Amino acid sequence: MDFLADALKRALLLLVSPDSELIGIISLSLGVSGSAVALATLFALPLASALALKRFPLRGVVLSIMNTFMGLPPVVVGLTVYIIFSMNGPLGVLELLYTPYVMVIAQFLLALPIVTAISHSAIVGVDPAVSDAARTLGATPSQRAFTIIKEARYGILSAVMAALGMVMAEVGAVLIVGGNIRGYTRVMTTTIALEADKGDFELAIALGIVLLGISLIINSVLYHLQRKGERP
């Protein structure tokens, strides 16, 4: 028990006066996961809108792919991306393996189905009367689509937050493709895994607390978004 209390004390001390390694790890985590989700949103939003508002061939297929991939295990995504970017893989020449870039790509693939599927159901869930109103008030098809998407804005933001929470917390994908290289591809989750393994709990606990805090923030934002999305 003594050593646990001691580790906790030193972790708290580290949080109060963080060293450059801790700051670097947190920044990389936020940077990788933030870019991955931002990029995913950029693709997911038009995709979800098209899936919700247009009828086109393979629409049902894309939709079920998104729903299935939503629950994809991060290690599987990590492995797939690893194979694609490994030396003999189809994109091996890019030499992106064990860089933050490939970590962004892996987390992008994890986030894309989440943002797409949740945004899709938010857009589909908009009262059809809103669409009728826009139309009869003289909206062009694209103005109407914009109006509907705007009505779904809280649901879409929830999708983004849910994806961010998921990729910030995952360890499998970034560990496989990033390699957990100190000072370069080491993020919060992979550091925790490694330090705990080494029996060095100080940094692991400090990062655990930070992760918990981030997840707390994300969840309270989600909670508020969901409340705002309901009829006020």
Partner 1 sequence: MSLTVSVEGIWKSYGGHDVLRGVNYSFNPERIYALMGPNGSGKTTLLRVLSLLETADRGEVIYTDGTTAPLEHNIALRRRITLLLSSTGLFNASVMKNASYGLSIRGIRGDEARERAFGALSLVGLGEMERQNALTLSSGEAQRLAMARAIAHEPEVLFLDEPTASVDIENTQAIEGVILGMKGTRSIILSTHNEAQARRLADVVLYLRDGLIMEG
| CB closer to partner 1 out of 63 and 130 | 130
Our CB check for partner 1 shows the closer of 61 and 129 to be 129
Q: What angle separates helix 188-198 from helix 153-169, to the nearest 10 degrees?
A: 30
Helices (H), the chain: 2-16, 20-53, 59-69, 74-85, 100-124, 128-136, 141-151, 153-169, 172-178, 188-198, 201-229
Binding mask 143-162 for partner 1 (x = CB under 8 A): x---x--xx-----------
Q: Does 170 engage in binding with partner 1 (CB under 8 A)?
A: no
Measured from the CB atom, the residue of 138 and 199 that comes closer to partner 1 is 138
Residue 72 φ/ψ region, left for φ over 0, alpha for ψ in the -120 to 50 degree band, beta for the rest: beta
When asked if residue 129 is in the footprint of partner 1 (CB under 8 A), the reply is yes
Kindly tell me which of 143 and 220 has the beta carbon lying closer to partner 1: 143
Of the residues 132, 183, 213, 219, which one makes contact with partner 1 according to CB under 8 A: 132
- Residue with token string 């997840």: 215
Closer CB to partner 1, 133 or 216, in the complex: 133
Q: How far is the CB of 55 from partner 1 (least distance, A)?
A: 15
The answer to whether residues 101 and 57 touch, using CB atoms and an 8 Å cutoff, is no
Residues 6 or more apart in contact with residue 27 via CB below 8 angstroms = none
Considering the rule CB under 8 A, would residue 130 count as an interface residue with partner 1?
A: yes
Q: Locate tokens 């990033």: which residue? A: 178
Stretch touching partner 1 by CB under 8 A, among 41-49, 97-105, 127-135, 172-180: 127-135
For partner 1, the binding residues (CB under 8 A) are 127-140, 143, 147, 150-151, 231-232
